[in-house]
Structure 1
Amino acid sequence: MLKPSQQIVIDIYQDDSSFARSVVDELKRLRIARRIRLRSAADWHPDLSLLHPTIVVSAALETRFLQALDCPHQLLVLPRETDQQESLKWHGDVLPWPSSVGLTLQRVQLMATSFNTMRQLHAVRKSLILHTQRVEREHELVEHIFRNALSRNFTNYEHIRTLLTPASKFNGDLCLVAPGPLGNLYVLMADFTGHGLAPATGALPLSQAFFAMADRSVSVAEMVVEFNYRLNRLLPNDMFCACFLLELSANGERLSYWNGGMPPALVFGQDGVVKHRLKAQHMALGVLSVDDFDSQVATIRTQATDAIALFTDGVIEMLSQKREFLGMEALEHLIQTYPGRDDFQSLVTELENFRGTQPLHDDLSLAILQCCPTGLASPEYGDEVQALPFTFQTTLDAEDLRQVDVVTSVLGVLGRLPALHGHRTTIYLLLAEVFNNALEHGLLGLDSRMKSDPEGFAYYYQLRTERLQALQSGSISIEVRFDQRQNYLRISVSNTGVPWEPDQPISTTRLSQPYGRGLDLLQQLADDLRWTDNGRKVSFGYHLASR
C-alpha cells in the first residue's frame, strides 16, 4: 500500500463506464493514496501538464491514448481482453484488469515513484538552467568590464604583432600596449597563476594602473613598484603575476625593461639571429612586500632593424600531437625562420601546425615588437569643458528597485562629466558593488555564504528574485558629490534595512572564494572607504584625474 506521507494525491481520469467505476471503487478500497481526485477521461490529452501521479481508466483503448505524451509516467488500466499489441503503444505502464492486489499496488507504487523522480529531476534541471543563466550573465558582465578596461589597449600599433589565445573563456595572460606622451611606447606581457576568471580578475587593477601611468610617462621602475603594491594587497597567497614590462624610446634606440618571473624575451636582428635573451632577474608581482620588492631596471641599446619577442610560458610549453613540448630552442628556430614583420602569420601557422588538435592546457600569448622609431607624436589634448560642482541625490523605494537598472541610470547621470570617459568601467564596478550589498544584505537579508556550493549559489539568486518581488518597504539612497577643483567624486549608498558588516576584514577576503571578491576590488580601487551606521551606509571617493 502507498504510504500517505510519500504520496498524498493521485489523479484518476476515467470514462464513466461501469468498468471504470468498478476499478475506481477497488482503488479507493485499497487506499492507494490519502486523496484521490476523479477527472473525466474527456479532459485527458497528450500534452497534459500533470501535477500528480496519474491513472487513466478506460473500457476501450482510444486512439488519442497512443499519441506521444508530455509526461509518460502514467498508468493505463484496461480490460484484460484488450488487444495487448495495441496497448504496447501506450508510452506509460499498462495494467490489465482484473489483477491481483499485489500486482495492482506494485504497479501503482512504481508509477508514483517514477512520477516523483521525474518531478525531482525536472526541478534539478530548472535549478541548473537558472544557475547557468546566472553564470552566463555574470560572465557577460565581467567580459563587458574587461572589454571597457582594455578599450585603450594599443595592440593595433603598426609595429607590433600579437597572438593571444586563452585556454578557457577568460584569459589569464595580459598583453598591454600604450603610447607615452613623449613618443615612447610601453608594452606589458603578464601571466597570472592559472587560467580562467580568477586570474583574469587581476587584469582590472593592473591594466588601469598601466594606462594611467603610461599617460604620465612614468618610469618602468615606478610602474612595477605600483603594480606589485596593488597585486600584493589584492591577490591571495597562492596567486601571483609573472610580468615583463618594457619601454621603447621614441627613436627606437633604447629599451628599458623589467622581467619578473617571465620566460626570457628575445631580441633579434633582421636575420632572425638572437642578440639578447632578457632573462628574469626578479620575483613575480604580488609575491613580495613593498620593502622587499626589487624594482631595478635594465637597459639595452637597439637598432631600427631589431625586434623583440615577448611570450608567456604557454608558448614554449605548448604540446604537440605526440605530447612533446615546443621548447625554447624550437621557438628560436621558428623566429629565425620567420624574422620579418610580414612573416608573423607564417610563424603563427607553424605554431598551430605543431599543436594540431591538441587542446591548450595554458593560455598562449606572443607579441613581437619592432624596435624602430615609434612615430608616435605627443598627444594633443583639446580644452575640456569645465564641469560645475554638483550634488546628486536620489532615494529609491521597493517599486523603483524592481523596475529600474539603478547602477546604469546613475552612471548615465554622471556621463556628462568630461573626465569620466576613462573611468566609466571602474565607477560602474564600484557603484554596483556597494548598491548590491545594500540591496541583497540590507533590504533582502541574504547571506553570501550560501554561494559556497553550486546549489547554494543558485538558491541565493532564486531567493534574491523572490524577495525583491515580495519587497513592500525599505529604500536605498544614493548621493554623489563632485568637486571640480580636485576632479574628485564622493559616492555614498545607504539603506533602511538590517545592519550588515563583512564577515571578515576586507583586506583578508580571498579571491578563491565564490563571494567577497567585490569587496577586495572596492578597497583596491576606491579612496577613503568608510562603513557607518552598522554597515547600512558605505561611502568612498574616487579621483578622476589621478589614475
Structure 2
Amino acid sequence: MAVLIVSEDRNLNELLVSVVERNGIESVVFTDSVTAMRHLEQPGTTLPSLVFTQYEGDRVLFTRFIQHLKADSEGRYFATVAIVNHKAELEQCVGLVDDVLVRPFNPTQAEYKLNTHLRCLRLFRELANERDGLEIYQKNVCVEQELVNKMFAVQCESQLVSFDNVRCQYSAEAMFHGSFLLIQQGPTGSIYILLADADGTGLPATMASNPLFSVFRAMAQKGLPPGSIAAELNRVLPSSVPDGMLVGAVVAELNNSADQLTVWSGGMPEGVIINADGQLQAAITSVHAPLVAKEEFDFCQDVDVYSVAKGNRFLLVTSSLERSTNYDKVVFGHNRFLQLFNGNHNDCFEALLQSHQGFTEGAPQLADIAVVEVLCDADEMPALKTQTKSTRPIPWQLNVELTTDDLRSVSPVPQIAKLLSNAVGLDVHQDFISTILSELYNNALEHGVLGLSSEMKQSEDGFLEYYMQRESRLAELNEGWVNIAISLDQGKVVLSVHDSGPGFDYHSLTQASEENAFGRGMSIINSVCDSYHYSHGGAKVTVHYSVSE
C-alpha cells in the first residue's frame, strides 16, 4: 500500500509524511497535481490506495485530477481526502472526494483520518476475499452439476423404465440433491421400486447413484427379495460414498398379481397405502436404520408384507416433501401429508402435488421433492417380456477398439447397449450387461488409461478432485486405448475389456484391496456374474454371464 500526498505546502507535507510513515506506510509526495498525474502514468508505478490532496483553488483542474485517479481504481480500494482551508473550498469539493480535512488540524486528527481509511481498506480486502471465495465455490458447483449431468446421461440413457400403473414426481434437481427413484420389472412380472435419499447435496451425494443403479437393476431382474437387495446395497455403498454419509432407502416389490406388497424401509418418511376412495388404509413405516449405518454382519433384512386389493395405491416420498417450507418458514410436515388421505380427493397423487405447490407458493427449497405412486391392479401390471422359445440365438461376436480420440469424445456404453438391444437372447438381460460393461469400461479408462486411484474418493473434497482430474487428464490424453469384446455362445455372454494401462499385481489381490483399488465396481460385478478373471498383467478383465433359462 502507498499513500499519495499532493500539496505545495512544505509544512503540511512534512506533517502528513510523519503521520503516514509512523504507521509503517510508504508515502509519495508531489507539489502539484499535474506532476502527480505524470508520475502515475509511468509504466510499473504502484497505484495508491489513499490520496491526501490540497485543494488548489482551480475546480476544473482539481476535478480532472480526481477523475484521473478514480479512473484507474476499479476493482480495488481507493479513497481521496481533500485538504481545505475554509467552507468555500469545502463546498467546491462536495461530490468529488471521499473525505475532507479542514485546516488547521494537528497530527492526531490526521492520524485518526488515516486509521479510518486503513480500517476501510482492511474491510474491503476481507470482503474481496469472501467474494473471490464465493466465485470459486460457484465455479465448483457448476463443475459438479456438469459432472453429474454427464454421469446420469451415461447411467440413465439405456435404463429408463416406465409403467402405466406408476406415476412419479422426479427431477434432475432431485437427483443432484441426493434423491433417487428407480423402477424395474422383475423376472416374474412383479414391479420393484427403489426410492433413496442420500445425505448432503451435490456431487458427493449423487455418487451414491452408481451402486444404487447397478445393484438394484441387477438384483431386481434376478427377482431377489427386497431385503436381500437392501443388504447388498448396504454392503457396497460404504466404498462409494464419503465417510459419515447415510442413505435412506425404501425397496418395495409389488407381486405380479398386484395383491401383495413387500417393503424394506430404512431412514425414510412414512409412506401410505390408500384404498380406491382415497382413504388411508395403512402406513408404510420405516423400521430400519438408513443404509451404511449398520455393518454387514449387523444388518437386518426383515421386511414388512402388506396385503393390497384391486384399486389400492401406495405412495412413497422423500424427506424433502415434509421438510418443505413456505415464505414464513413453516414446514409442510407429516400431518399435512396424512390429512390428504381422508377420502375427499379423487386423485390423491395430484392432490398431494397441488397441496405442496399451494403451500410453498414458490418459496426457495433446499431440495426438490420425489414422489412415486403405484396402482395395485393386476390388469394394469406391465406385460412380462418373454423370449420366443422357438428362437435359438446364433453365436455372435462384437469387437470395439477405442482410440485416444474416441476416449476423449465418446461415451461408448450407451452406443454398445443400443447395438445389443436387438440381439436375440439378451432382451431381459440388457440392464445386467449395461451395468457390467459400464463398470468395466470406467475402471479401464479411469484406473488403467488415466491412472486415477479410488483412494481419492474417500473424502468429500476427494470426490470433486477425482472427477476434475478425470476431466483434465482425459482432455490432455495423447496416447491410450481400450478394446471391448463381447460374444454370445451356448447361453453365455463373455465380455472382456482390455486397456493400455500398466496393469497391476492381481495375484495378490484380496476382495478388500480390490474394492479399495477399483471402488465398488468389481464388487457389483461379482454379485451379478458367474465368474471373472484378470489377464495381461491385470490390464484385461474377462467376465462370464449366463443368459440361459
Q: TM-score range by the shorter chain?
A: 0.5 to 0.7
Indicate the residue corresponding to 1:93 in structure 2: 99
Distance 1:123 1:361 in 2: 26
| Structure 1 residues 279-310: Cα deviation after superposition (integer angstroms, max 9, x where no partner) | 45655433444444443556555443222222
Of residues 200, 203, 207, the one that matches 1:201 is 207
Q: Is 1:267 aligned with 2:273?
A: yes
Give the partner amino acid of 1:489.
Answer: V
Give the partner amino acid of 1:19.
Answer: E
Indicate the residue corresponding to 2:484 in structure 1: 482
Indicate the residue corresponding to 2:430 in structure 1: none
The alignment partner of 1:335 has SS state of coil
| Structure 1 residues 25-53: Cα deviation after superposition (integer angstroms, max 9, x where no partner) | 887788845574875436879xxx97333
1:23-422 aligned within 5 A: 32=21, 34=26, 36=28, 40-41=36-37, 51-55=47-51, 57=53, 59=56, 60-61=58-59, 62-64=62-64, 70=74, 73-76=78-81, 80=85, 83-95=89-101, 100=106, 107=113, 111=117, 114-115=120-121, 118-119=124-125, 121-146=127-152, 148-151=154-157, 157-164=163-170, 170-180=176-186, 182-193=188-199, 198-234=204-240, 238-260=244-266, 262=268, 265-280=271-286, 283-296=289-302, 301-312=307-318, 326-327=333-334, 331-338=337-344, 340=346, 342-353=347-358, 364-372=369-377, 373-379=379-385, 388-389=398-399, 409=408, 411-412=410-411, 417-418=416-417, 422=434
CA deviation after TM superposition for structure 1 residue 409, in Å: 0.8
- Normalized per residue, which structure has more helix? 2
Distance 1:419 1:106 in 2: 75
Indicate the residue corresponding to 1:501 in structure 2: none
Structure 1 stretch 217-226 or stretch 349-358: which is displaced more? 349-358
Q: 1:255 to 1:360 in 2, by over 3 A?
A: same
Q: 1:419 to 1:345 in 2, by over 3 A?
A: closer
Distance 1:299 1:80 in 2: 91
Indicate the residue corresponding to 2:529 in structure 1: none
Distance 2:119 2:394 in 1: 72
The alignment partner of 1:89 has SS state of coil
Identity %: 18
Indicate the residue corresponding to 1:19 in structure 2: 8
Distance 1:417 1:357 in 2: 42
Give the partner amino acid of 1:64.
Answer: R
CA deviation after TM superposition for structure 1 residue 237, in Å: 7.1
Give the partner amino acid of 2:63.
Answer: T
The alignment partner of 2:340 has SS state of helix
If the length of structure 2 is used for normalisation, what is the TM-score? 0.64
Tell me, yes or no, if the aligned pair for 1:476 and 1:493 is still in contact at 8 Å.
no
CA deviation after TM superposition for structure 1 residue 179, in Å: 3.0
| Structure 1 residues 48-80: Cα deviation after superposition (integer angstroms, max 9, x where no partner) | x97333536463333335657646633355563
CA deviation after TM superposition for structure 1 residue 380, in Å: 8.1
Q: 1:410 to 1:120 in 2, by over 3 A?
A: same
Structure 1 stretch 247-256 or stretch 233-242: which is displaced more? 233-242
Q: 1:106 to 1:413 in 2, by over 3 A?
A: same
CA deviation after TM superposition for structure 1 residue 371, in Å: 1.0
CA deviation after TM superposition for structure 1 residue 369, in Å: 0.8
Q: 1:102 to 1:164 in 2, by over 3 A?
A: same
| Structure 1 residues 138-181: Cα deviation after superposition (integer angstroms, max 9, x where no partner) | 24323542465455675753322334599999434433222345
The alignment partner of 2:8 has SS state of helix
The alignment partner of 1:122 has SS state of helix
Indicate the residue corresponding to 2:425 in structure 1: none
Indicate the residue corresponding to 1:400 in structure 2: none
Distance 2:292 2:276 in 1: 36
Indicate the residue corresponding to 1:513 in structure 2: none
Distance 2:256 2:219 in 1: 17
Tell me, yes or no, if the aligned pair for 1:167 and 1:361 is still in contact at 8 Å.
no
Indicate the residue corresponding to 1:3 in structure 2: none
Distance 1:148 1:338 in 2: 43
Structure 1 stretch 316-325 or stretch 197-206: which is displaced more? 316-325
Structure 1 stretch 346-355 or stretch 381-390: which is displaced more? 381-390
| Structure 1 residues 357-404: Cα deviation after superposition (integer angstroms, max 9, x where no partner) | 88868875432210123453345899999665466565xxxxxxxxxx
Give the partner amino acid of 2:214.
Answer: Q
Tell me, yes or no, if the aligned pair for 1:168 and 1:196 is still in contact at 8 Å.
no
CA deviation after TM superposition for structure 1 residue 241, in Å: 3.4
Distance 2:166 2:192 in 1: 12
Distance 2:290 2:111 in 1: 70
Tell me, yes or no, if the aligned pair for 1:260 and 1:283 is still in contact at 8 Å.
yes
Tell me, yes or no, if the aligned pair for 2:81 and 2:98 is still in contact at 8 Å.
yes
CA deviation after TM superposition for structure 1 residue 129, in Å: 1.5
Distance 1:131 1:543 in 2: 42
| Structure 1 residues 488-537: Cα deviation after superposition (integer angstroms, max 9, x where no partner) | 32446579xxxxxxxxx98999xxxxxxxx9856786688999xxxxxx9
Distance 2:171 2:477 in 1: 45
Distance 1:22 1:440 in 2: 69
Question: What is the number of residues matched between the two proteins?
Answer: 481
Distance 1:173 1:80 in 2: 69
